[in-house]
Amino acid sequence: MTAVMTESAQSSPQSPRRSTRRLPLALRVLRSPRLARVLFLPAVLIFWLISNKLIADSWGFDSSVLATPIEVWDFMYAEVTGDTVAPANLYQTFGISLRRLGLGFVISMTVGTTLGIGMGLSKAVNAFFHDWVMALLAMPALAWALFLSLILGFGDKGPVWAVVLAGIPFVIVNVREGVRSTPRDLFDMSTAFGVSPLKRIRHVLLPSLFPFLFAAARYALSIGWKGLVIIELFGGQDGAGWTFKFWYDAHRLHGVIGYSMFFVIFALVLENVVLEPISRRVFKWRPSLNQPDIVEEDMDVVKYPALADESLSDRDTIIQEKN
């Protein structure tokens, strides 16, 4: 079969041929994704400077109010080195917020995973909690921030509960859909072989849930972090959100932009340094999407073991002679 397909592909005059002509070096460099990523930051800086100039000329006020890239850089460098006029330095501020985020994340993942599995396995449980989950999804983080600040005050309880309430509905929905997408045949086969319910959950359900759990964790962290910053901003007395408001109240635009950059850096570090390596390690057992599981040449090797050391072109010739 392989030989027939190869001969027909070679003899067909209409079979498309891939062009071997390479593009000029300059054009390849201009079309390179790496160059696009390198040029993004200079483009942002140029746009920043031009915008400051246009705003100052159009509105006619003191241009010193606007923050320049150099001022923001100097501010961020001073914060990193601990030279700040804020009540707490950068590390103390983020340490307080990360402690609250971690505690709220653990609670939301634990409770959300339990409820999500229950809603996915039982129609009655799903019907009971469905409207509650939809209500939590519809509630904006700002509403939770104001409500929890009035009820729980300015301590740690309000921010932790804000992280939980903001992230838990996304965990429940993702886990529930993961349970529903688990192949029913695997459950039937495990039941037929007398597998215990605990082993069925461990070896059948949880491996199918891993992609949904990682998606839920990403949602819980991102949405929880936003809710945490909002409640610290409106009803806190410390933390990253409160320090962000401190620079806003001080009318220091470079401080506001600088802390916004710290938020972005934190999100990128969390994704690329923590979540992405864990995801690659957990899912390295899965085959690559770019490589098929079985190709025709592998089937030829199974049928003719002597072909294992032969090249693809020699395999076609040997198979044709044997047939």
Using CA atoms, how far apart are residues 229 and 264, in angstroms rounded to an integer? 13
pLDDT at 7 over 80: no
Residue 101: predicted pLDDT: 93
Name 306's Cβ contacts closer than 8 Å, sequence gap at least 6: 318
Percent of the chain with pLDDT over 90: 30
When mean pLDDT is compared across 30-39, 90-99, 246-255, 256-265, the lowest value belongs to 30-39
Of the listed ranges 33-37, 82-86, 292-296, the least confidently predicted one is: 292-296
Phi/psi of residue 239, nearest 5 degrees: 100, 175
- Per-residue pLDDT at 320 exceeds 60: no
Higher pLDDT, 204 or 259: 259
Q: Give pLDDT tens digits for 273-294.
A: 888 888 788 777 665 544 444 3
Model confidence at 99, pLDDT cuts 50, 70, 90, reads very high
CA distance 261 to 170: 26
Cα 311 to Cα 297: distance, rounded to the nearest angstrom: 10
Owner of token pair 């590390």? 91
Average pLDDT, the chain: 79
What's the rounded mean pLDDT across residues 139-163?
Answer: 87
In this predicted structure, the answer to whether residue 65 has a pLDDT above a threshold of 80 is no
Confidence band for 246, pLDDT divided at 50, 70 and 90: very high
pLDDT class for 169, splitting at 50, 70, 90?
very high
Whole-number Å distance between alpha carbons of 202 and 268: 32
CA distance 186 to 189: 5
Average pLDDT for residues 151-177, to the nearest whole number? 90
* pLDDT bracket for residue 16 (50, 70, 90): very low
Q: Half-sphere exposure of residue 274, counting CA atoms within 13 Å on the CB side? A: 10
> What domains are there in the chain, each with its CATH number?
77-282 (1.10.3720.10)
Judged against a pLDDT cut of 80, whether residue 89 lies above it is answered with yes
Residue 91 reports pLDDT greater than 80: yes
158 CB-near residues (< 8 Å, 6+ apart): 148, 149, 151, 152, 231, 235, 236
pLDDT in tens, 113-127: 999 989 988 899 999
Average pLDDT of span 214-228: 90
What does DSSP assign to residue 271?
A: I
User: What's the confidence (pLDDT) of residue 171?
Assistant: 93
